[in-house]
Amino acid sequence: MSYFIQPKKYTSLLDLQHTELGIKYLKDFFQQGLSAELRLRRVTAPLFVLQGMGINDDLSGVERAVTFPVKDMNDAKAEVVHSLAKWKRVILADYGIKEGYGIYTDMNAIRADENLGNLHSLYVDQWDWERVITADERSLDFLKEIVNRIYSVLLRCEYALSEVFPQIEPVLPEKLHFVHSEELLQMYPTLSPKERENEITKKYGAVFIIGIGCKLSDGSVHDLRAPDYDDWTTVAENGLPGLNGDILLWSSVLNCAVEVSSMGIRVDKKTLLHQLQLTGETHRAELLFHKRLLNGELPLSIGGGIGQSRVCMFFLRKAHIGEIQASLWPEEMRREVARYGINLI
């Protein structure tokens, strides 16, 4: 039960029926707003891909994908996606999406190695999005511009929800605070990365932490990132490495930061090779996705994932992601959360 955060004096603001109504309202409103703000068209996404293609997201590199044999393909192994970080870039190329436009999709995944708790489930649902960019847009300023536009959708979403459910009062600050992971280390040198996230997010209400995966001055990384989608090594205008990051919102229900999005400018040929070398993963260059990128067949892009259940959990002021989605939970956790008035779906 070490991953269960005990909320103080928790009472759900919505009953089960109104929670379901709120979930639908939020999902419809947000994806329409995101599509309009970033000029994204919806596409259909796979639940599984063939193993060994280099298309599945490797996350931090240690999580096991759920695999199964396909009888009519000579028992070739398929694996359930972790996310669609690399698949989306292939689709941008195959669909011939132009610069300044992109795609989004409803991504559903299974992450069997998650440490289950208030914010983590076996079942993952995201709005995965990807947009074609120019070489000049591979910059920190452009990254911030896109992040601010996504945050503006979150602000509109919270206000619209409060009109439907007046008991849910808007709490997000008008502006998102940007900070680099190296700056966080200097501000809170004795704290762990998660503790730093809590301190900075509690202070500002909503933050974007830049440089997830890059090496910090003490030799550590703020958090792990796979080497073949986000660019976390390019030195930006501020002299610090990293063209990616996470959006975090402060939850007064859980008294902690809630990560709702991970995103970034994607690797080009140069940074792909560099990051594969840094992580000892140069063998990946022979996989299908990586060959297409190195051969110049994939466009430059920016993209990310926005957690659907996390967004709904935050805006509906819920204490557990299991109040938003149907998943599996240890019986011990079910008994524990029931003591705090948490009803898991």
- Model pLDDT, residue 211: 97
Backbone torsions φ then ψ of 264, nearest 5 degrees: 170, 165
Quote the percentage of the chain above a pLDDT of 90. 87
Q: Which residues are identified as catalytic? A: 57, 111, 126, 246, 259, 262
Among left, alpha and beta (phi > 0; psi -120 to 50; other), residue 118 is alpha
pLDDT at residue 197 above 80? yes
**Please, which pLDDT band fits residue 1 given cuts at 50, 70 and 90?**
very low
- Model pLDDT, residue 59: 65
Three-state SS annotation for the chain: CCCCCCCCCCCCCCCHHHHHHHHHHHHHHHHHHHHHHHCEEECCCCCEEECCCCCCCCCCCCCCCCEEEEHHHCCEEEEECCCCCCHHHHHHHHCCCCCCCEEEEEEEEECCCCCCCCCCCCEEEEEEEEEECCHHHCCHHHHHHHHHHHHHHHHHHHHHHHHHCCCCCCCCCCCCEEEEHHHHHHHCCCCCHHHHHHHHHHHHCEEEEECCCCECCCCCECCCCCCCCECCCCECCCCCECCEEEEEEEECCCCEEEEEEEEEEECCHHHHHHHHHHCCCHHHHHCHHHHHHHCCCCCCEEEEEEEHHHHHHHHCCCCCHHHCCCCCCCHHHHHHHHCCCCCCC
Identify whether the C-beta of residue 207 lies closer than 8 Å to the C-beta of residue 183. Answer: no
Where in the chain are the domains?
16-338
- Model pLDDT, residue 60: 62
78 forms bridges with which residues in the sheet?
50, 68
CATH code assigned to 16-338: 3.30.930.10
Torsion of CA 98, 37, 200, 341, to 10 degrees: -120
Pairwise CA distance, residues 27 & 283, whole Å: 39
Backbone torsions φ then ψ of 60, nearest 5 degrees: -90, 0
Backbone torsions φ then ψ of 296, nearest 5 degrees: 75, 20
Q: Are strands 301-307 and 123-132 parallel, antiparallel or unpaired?
A: antiparallel
In terms of pTM, does the model score above 0.85?
yes
Pairwise CA distance, residues 67 & 65, whole Å: 6
How do residues 172-188 score in pLDDT, each as one tens digit? 999 999 999 999 999 99
As given in the structure block, the two tokens for residue 274 are: 């560099």
Pairwise CA distance, residues 244 & 228, whole Å: 13
Backbone torsions φ then ψ of 141, nearest 5 degrees: -60, -40
Q: In one letter, which amino acid is 270?
A: K
Long-range contacts of 273-281 (CB under 8 A, 24+ apart): 274/233, 275/227, 275/228, 275/231, 275/232, 275/233, 276/227, 276/228, 278/227, 278/233, 279/61, 279/227, 281/61, 281/227, 281/228
pLDDT average, residue stretch 106-126: 91
Q: What is the mean pLDDT of the chain?
A: 94
**Please, which pLDDT band fits residue 61 given cuts at 50, 70 and 90?**
low
How do residues 235-293 score in pLDDT, each as one tens digit? 998 899 999 999 999 999 999 999 999 999 999 999 999 999 999 999 999 999 999 99
